[in-house]
Structure 1
Amino acid sequence: MKADVAIVGTGPNGLAAAVVMARAGLQVELFESHHEIGGGLRSTSLFDADITHDVCAAVHPMAAASRFFREFDLASRGVRLCLPEISYAHPLPDGAAALAYHDLETTCAQLGADGEPWRRLMTPLLERSRDVVDLALSPHRAIPQDLLVAVKFATRTLTLGTQLGRRTLTTEAGKALLTGVAAHAVGRLPSLASGAIALLLGHLAHGSGWPLPEGGSTRIAEVAADIAAHGGTFHTGCKIDDLRQLQGTKVVLFDTAPKGLLQAAGELLPARYARRLSRFRHSPGAAKVDFLVNAPIRWKDPDVGLAGTVHLGGTQAQIRHQERLTAAGAAAPEPFVLVVDPAVADPTRARDGKRPVWAYAHVPNGSSQDPVPMVQARIEHYAPGFGDTVIASRGISARDYETYNPNYIGGDINGGAVTLKQSVLGPALRVNPYRTPLRGVYLCSASTPPGPGVHGMSGYLAARSALRHEFGIHTTPSLAPNQIARTGP
């Protein structure tokens, strides 16, 4: 190969890395084992040619907030991010629901006694939201530039991620609303990592929002057009299972789980580093269900129908119990379920009365259980009659999710257990979490800091590191639209 850079895997981080490298004037080639690029951004028609389903991710708070996407500017490229009136909703066992409106004041008004504590929790973060996001989505290797923001975020994380948070919110609605966001960590609750996620995603619900890309998640993969415009080349249906296949390439970036790097590099890796990769921990799994329905979901509380995302988990105590069981490898009788009706925010997703419904349940890693009956039952509990609207459904077990995407080990869609240690250190303790001991070989997936989410930052940060160390380029190229690529390093 004569390319300057080879990127293995075309998920959000691989695409972000390719954008940076191609914008720097380097010759970039991308290799994807699947017949279609995008990783977690893939969308397809499953049951009806006119209805698009998001196979993996559906809602994208980070696509509106991360530094990579701010610089890349999706809106200027024709990608519209649709914001629902209610960012997320949390139905409660009594039939009512806690609602996180995009508008903070409306949220506080409906939370009653927890309205003022919610405002005190979120307002300081919203006032410095960009700094909060940049802190959370950093490599975690340097003293924060803004220590005040870091202190505000850290003290709140310490409170929410431990038993100290018991008195922060007192009503069942307030506690469940925040715990539902913390459950995006997919692991035991409470924890410091889940507290950080609750704050990051929770404040964004009232800031840049929890948007859905118009037309489906695959629209975010339009990043590929910029790569091609700057000379990048895509190879789909091309599995790289031996690093020597890329011999002659100066830099290789793996947008894969550590297991993928281990398999490709094999005996080339130092034994100690290989052992660390082999010990990398994975989170519980996600079991995915796609429904085609003939009507909007009729929730017991009609306002839930205005939400882009719905958390089904019951009370705070119930959610914590469910997540503890799942983290211990035991199937919860009533698992935590996330539900999205994309047409709530993006009416183009509904055609001729039909619409997609996206859902997944937290299950033990590697579970082979068919998720359709349990997910449908969970929705039916909060929206009686839902089953009568279902035209077709398809389930993907946690085990089968890994077959679909080899990076989802045992159904782990996060790219690794979301713990404080792994979120900060990544797969191995190294000064630079992206560089491997092999010259010119980097890991840039969600298994590296800052971790899970469609933010592109792992790829962005790994590419910047490779530009400095391998090509002597110390200035990050502009990612703005209509910028001309450099002619070389």
Structure 2
Amino acid sequence: MRGAVRDAIVVGAGPNGLTAAVELARRGMSVSVFEARETVGGGARTEELTLPGFRHDPCSAVHPMGAGSPAFNAMPLARYGLTWLNAELPMAHPLPDGRAAVLARSAGETAASLGPRDAGAYRRLVAPYLGRWETLSADFLKVLWDGLPRDPVRLARFGLTGLPPVSWLTRRFRDEPARALLSGMAAHVIAPTSTPATSAVALVFALAAHEVGWPVPRGGSQAISDALAAYLTELGGEIHTGVEVKRLDELPPARAYLFDTSPTALARIAGLGRAFDGFRYGAAAFKIDYALDGPVPWTAPEARRAGTVHVGSTSGEISTALRAAVSGRAPEVPFLIASQPTLADPSRAPEGKHVLWVYGHVPSGWDGDLTDAIERQLERFAPGFRDLVLARATAGPPELARRNANYVGGDIACGAFSGLQTMFRPRPALNPYATAHPAVFLCSSAAWPAPGVHGMQGHNAAKAVWRRLRRAAA
């Protein structure tokens, strides 16, 4: 793979790797991307996993942070086929009595679903930030060296609210619907509800719903990756698929190398030895993709209108399930995160049919089968669900790791949300993307700011590379 010296080479064609490549190509730099699989995508892919005509997302499916991403929104991705679609409700959380708490586009509708004793508390929680998403997201998703916050007072207020555990935040509320709703949103980082900064996770997801919704891309998550790849190609960037990189010297010469990989893979490929031995991976997911003969028969009517459904009756039940997975036990009653893409995008399945995407939490590397526990939980809130199943594709931690090498041990969050890693990923540093090698950078979801398909790690890492190369040329 010798040839002319490139400005930058990116290893891994997931959303972060492609975003980093685009950001550098937009600045006039020569960029090549190398991807081990035959197609681009990483954590944003779409495949027929079950039956012909049923299009599933093997990894991520719903993208509130993607639709609200400062990186994606600065690109003309709609020109390359990316269209965001929202269900009527972003999310519903069914309750044991047949009702549901809802996360709606309207903060008022959300508050009303929580009951009269907690409606006012919810409005007060989100009111300081409504209508400020563009400024707030730009401030909390960037890094310290990338300029001063645009609204430092509001950002500080957000930090004071968000730094405590979500188990503290729920004490503001008197009844279970609000507590379950917030606990379920915080659970996306696969950490116990007693973990610091999980309040921020819940609040970010709530604000994203009120500002941009919790959308899916038309046609599936692959549309995000395909749009980024098409834009990169138009900018002059090169993409090489089916090329597994095992050593840095296998790559063409370049002024900078960016890795959309796990930190441990970067260290192995770049010859950095034990550089990331302190990085910790977290608990895993057990995921099932369903082809269904009809819509999920949720008892709660609100869940039948929601793109995402959180299945866990109480905040205590959610907390117990998370603690079990993190401590090395498969939960007896798992907390489930489910997506119903065909409510917003019927093209994802044959006419009248549906796809369902659902996972529960299990220990890292767990090789058991959570299918029965997941389906018992679904039947609990949607009696008759099993009768609709045409086919299922299951993926425990080993299979998830095979689908995406960044999911070490099946950790779809690409790193434990615990200890210093709640705020400093992959380790405490002013520049979290730099490594001991001056030309090697990390740009994957294992780095700041947080997991998810939003491209901000790639965006920030590209800025770090640009600054380094500009200084070197001065």
Paired residue secondary structure (2:185):
helix
User: Aligned partners of 2:22 and 2:93: how far apart in 1?
Assistant: 37
For residues 163-197 of structure 1, the C-alpha deviation after alignment (integer angstroms, 9 at most, x for no partner) is: 54343111111110111101011011122232111
Deviates more, 1:63-72 or 1:121-130: 121-130
For residues 237-271 of structure 1, the C-alpha deviation after alignment (integer angstroms, 9 at most, x for no partner) is: 111111111252211100011111121022xx2xx
Size of the aligned set, in residue pairs, is: 468
Partners of 2:308 and 2:338 within 8 A in 1: yes
Structure 1 counterpart of 2:33, which letter? L
User: Aligned partners of 2:106 and 2:137: how far apart in 1?
Assistant: 19
Partners of 1:42 and 1:55 within 8 A in 2: yes
**Closer, same or farther in 2 for the Cα pair 1:400/1:148, shift >3 Å?**
same
Structure 2 unaligned spans of 5+: none
Q: Does 1:204 align with 2:208?
A: yes
TM-score between both structures, scaled by the size of structure 1 = 0.92
Partners of 1:338 and 1:359 within 8 A in 2: yes
Partners of 2:80 and 2:231 within 8 A in 1: no
Give the deviation of 1:424 after TM superposition.
3.0
User: Aligned partners of 2:197 and 2:129: how far apart in 1?
Assistant: 17
Give the deviation of 1:143 after TM superposition.
5.7
Partners of 2:104 and 2:110 within 8 A in 1: yes
Q: Does 1:122 align with 2:126?
A: yes
Q: Does 1:21 align with 2:20?
A: no
Partners of 2:170 and 2:182 within 8 A in 1: no
User: Aligned partners of 1:372 and 1:73: how far apart in 2?
Assistant: 41
User: Within 5 A, what are the aligned runs for 1:100-179?
Assistant: 100-112=103-115, 113-140=117-144, 144-159=149-164, 161=165, 164-179=168-183
What is aligned with 2:193?
Answer: 189
Structure 1 counterpart of 2:244, which letter? K
Partners of 2:325 and 2:331 within 8 A in 1: yes
What is aligned with 1:478?
Answer: none
Give the deviation of 1:115 after TM superposition.
0.9
Q: Does 1:246 align with 2:251?
A: yes
Q: Does 1:62 align with 2:65?
A: yes
User: Within 5 A, what are the aligned runs for 1:73-92?
Assistant: 73-92=76-95
Give the deviation of 1:158 after TM superposition.
3.5
Paired residue secondary structure (2:43):
helix
Partners of 1:140 and 1:424 within 8 A in 2: no
Partners of 2:169 and 2:199 within 8 A in 1: no
**Closer, same or farther in 2 for the Cα pair 1:73/1:199, shift >3 Å?**
farther
Paired residue secondary structure (1:154):
helix
Structure 2 counterpart of 1:384, which letter? P
For residues 291-340 of structure 1, the C-alpha deviation after alignment (integer angstroms, 9 at most, x for no partner) is: 10110001011221100101112201111111111111111101111111
Deviates more, 1:188-197 or 1:134-143: 134-143
Paired residue secondary structure (2:74):
helix
**Closer, same or farther in 2 for the Cα pair 1:374/1:167, shift >3 Å?**
closer
Give the deviation of 1:454 after TM superposition.
0.7
TM-score between both structures, scaled by the size of structure 2 = 0.94
Deviates more, 1:350-359 or 1:31-40: 350-359
Deviates more, 1:91-100 or 1:359-368: 91-100
For residues 392-424 of structure 1, the C-alpha deviation after alignment (integer angstroms, 9 at most, x for no partner) is: 001011122112211100111111112362243
Partners of 1:328 and 1:364 within 8 A in 2: yes
Paired residue secondary structure (1:250):
strand
For residues 68-107 of structure 1, the C-alpha deviation after alignment (integer angstroms, 9 at most, x for no partner) is: 0110143344321111221111112232211111122112
**Closer, same or farther in 2 for the Cα pair 1:36/1:371, shift >3 Å?**
farther
User: Within 5 A, what are the aligned runs for 1:207-218?
Assistant: 207-218=211-222
Structure 2 counterpart of 1:354, which letter? K
User: Aligned partners of 1:166 and 1:55: how far apart in 2?
Assistant: 32
User: Aligned partners of 2:329 and 2:148: how far apart in 1?
Assistant: 40
For residues 122-144 of structure 1, the C-alpha deviation after alignment (integer angstroms, 9 at most, x for no partner) is: 12111322222122212255763
Q: Does 1:361 align with 2:386?
A: no
User: Within 5 A, what are the aligned runs for 1:182-331?
Assistant: 182-221=186-225, 222-266=227-271, 269=272, 274-331=273-330
**Closer, same or farther in 2 for the Cα pair 1:331/1:167, shift >3 Å?**
same
**Closer, same or farther in 2 for the Cα pair 1:317/1:393, shift >3 Å?**
same
From 1, 4, 8, the counterpart of 1:5: 8
User: Aligned partners of 2:198 and 2:398: how far apart in 1?
Assistant: 24
**Closer, same or farther in 2 for the Cα pair 1:163/1:209, shift >3 Å?**
closer
Partners of 1:139 and 1:424 within 8 A in 2: no
Give the deviation of 1:472 after TM superposition.
4.8
**Closer, same or farther in 2 for the Cα pair 1:394/1:371, shift >3 Å?**
farther
**Closer, same or farther in 2 for the Cα pair 1:278/1:448, shift >3 Å?**
same
Paired residue secondary structure (1:278):
coil
Partners of 1:136 and 1:200 within 8 A in 2: no
**Closer, same or farther in 2 for the Cα pair 1:468/1:140, shift >3 Å?**
closer
Partners of 1:289 and 1:393 within 8 A in 2: yes
For residues 9-48 of structure 1, the C-alpha deviation after alignment (integer angstroms, 9 at most, x for no partner) is: 1111101001011112222111111122110111011233
What is aligned with 1:467?
Answer: 466
For residues 139-165 of structure 1, the C-alpha deviation after alignment (integer angstroms, 9 at most, x for no partner) is: 255763422112221121145x26543
User: Within 5 A, what are the aligned runs for 1:37-52?
Assistant: 37-52=40-55
Structure 2 counterpart of 1:316, which letter? S
What is aligned with 1:413?
Answer: 412
Partners of 2:434 and 2:441 within 8 A in 1: yes
What is aligned with 1:480?
Answer: none
Partners of 1:311 and 1:336 within 8 A in 2: yes
Structure 2 counterpart of 1:80, which letter? T
**Closer, same or farther in 2 for the Cα pair 1:111/1:431, shift >3 Å?**
closer
User: Within 5 A, what are the aligned runs for 1:422-437?
Assistant: 422-437=421-436
Structure 2 counterpart of 1:89, which letter? A
User: Aligned partners of 2:159 and 2:211: how far apart in 1?
Assistant: 20
Deviates more, 1:428-437 or 1:234-243: 428-437
User: Aligned partners of 2:171 and 2:406: how far apart in 1?
Assistant: 39
